[in-house]
Amino acid sequence: MKRTGGASARPPARGALIHYHEIALKGKNRSFFLKQLEANILLATRDLDCGPLKRLAGRLFLEMREETSWEVLRQRLSRVFGIANFAPAVMMAPDLELLAQRIEEEVSSRSFHSFRVAARRAFKTFPQTSQEINEIIGARVQRICGARVDLTNPELTIYIEILPAEAFVYFDKLLGPGGLPVGTSGTVACLLSGGIDSPVAAYRMMKRGCRVVFVHFHSQPFADRTSQEKAIELARLLTRYQFASRLYLAPFGELQQEVVSHVTGRMRIVVYRRLMLRIAEQIARKEGAQALVTGESLGQVASQTIENIATIEQASTLPILRPLIGMDKDEITQQAQQIGSYEVSIIPDQDCCSMFLPRQVATHTTHREAELAERPLDLERLVAQAHSAAYSLELSFPG
């Protein structure tokens, strides 16, 4: 069998072969996105015995030591946004005979009745074409195992990727979360309740490359700490996707009391929401965030009619992003289950949204009506009071 001619045999190295997709479309900005992806991969695996992380043409390779658990590494990489897919791979010299020998060793311990070889030459200087590699390796595998070739629905797929200085062999391709690396799209502040919706909204913004600061409003001393504990747990869970988070816990109960004393029942929910946006904006500006994020879904509850959404958002001078606006409850719940936040979100609690709840809620408010309802309130004092009383927690993962 003909060798490549210029490749020196090097000891094979095991690790994760990582592919990205959307980043590859970024043109002149690709290097910026790749640097952030690399930084995030290293953050996600900083407590594991891995490295170095090698940048190759259109892919990355993270070497792993024998002591490193692939299952743990798989979990970590499955939460790094920007990864399209990844695989447990062996990196070796781009030598066809060495590749064939390695594959023979690997398949001899596996049980399968059908297979296919999927070879890919990233550069065309390799002597054999992709089809010729498929045929040569396929014949060797058949002699060893007696399995038949099935190009449509094989039990085993043998992946081969050949680059100028290295080649990779792997048998499993795992989906990554996709999206853009966290840290490439700026910072946003997400109003994080203890419910199902807002953690999913935060997750979706992270997937688009945003770093998320969390703001949770609670009703102590009129309620117990359950909603705060849920918010902390949800923020901790979401930190697995951005590796460092800050959560602000802002008291809202006393402000609600003042609203109850001065605002008619049907307008209170709108006034509550407008106050929350004003307070969250102060925190967002302190954090350098460029937008606010909410878990609103159009028409889901009384405060989320299109008229109320328009009236509420006029209280903020920052843009308000609503990644769930067109999703229904079933879709949101399904994604909450996928990311692991659902079980925490459904724990019963006394959140501030359910405290001092009026019997009737205005569903078609205007900005003028909201301003009239707020006129008896000292908004500047209330916002400053909540902002100064808010305290923050630092969360990190791993850790």
Instruction: Give binding residues for ATP as ranges.
Output: 191-192, 216-217, 273, 295, 304
- C-alpha 266/C-alpha 252 separation (Å) is 19
Task: Tell me how crowded residue 392 is: count the other CB atoms within 10 A of its CB.
Answer: 17
| Annotated binding-site residue numbers | 191-192, 216-217, 273, 295, 304
Structural tokens at position 344: 């925490």
Q: Dihedral (C-alpha) 168, 169, 171, 174: value to the nearest 10 degrees?
A: -10
Let me know: does 268 contact 242? Beta carbons within 8 Å. no
Structural tokens at position 290: 């460029």
Distances (CA, A) of 26 to 6, 23, 79, 123, 211: 33, 5, 21, 21, 19
Instruction: Give the single-character DSSP code of 267.
Output: G
Compute the residue count for the chain: 399
- C-alpha 61/C-alpha 83 separation (Å) is 12
What are phi and psi for residue 339, nearest 5 degrees? -90, -5
Amino acid identity, residue 376? P
Question: Please, which residues bridge with residue 63 across strands?
Answer: 15
Let me know: does 89 contact 170? Beta carbons within 8 Å. yes
Instruction: Give Dmax (Cα) for the chain.
Output: 88
Could you identify the residue written with the tokens 């005979």? 97
Task: Tell me how crowded residue 35 is: count the other CB atoms within 10 A of its CB.
Answer: 14
Structural tokens at position 247: 């959560």
Alpha helix (H) ranges present in 263-315?
Answer: 268-287, 306-313
- C-alpha 135/C-alpha 160 separation (Å) is 12
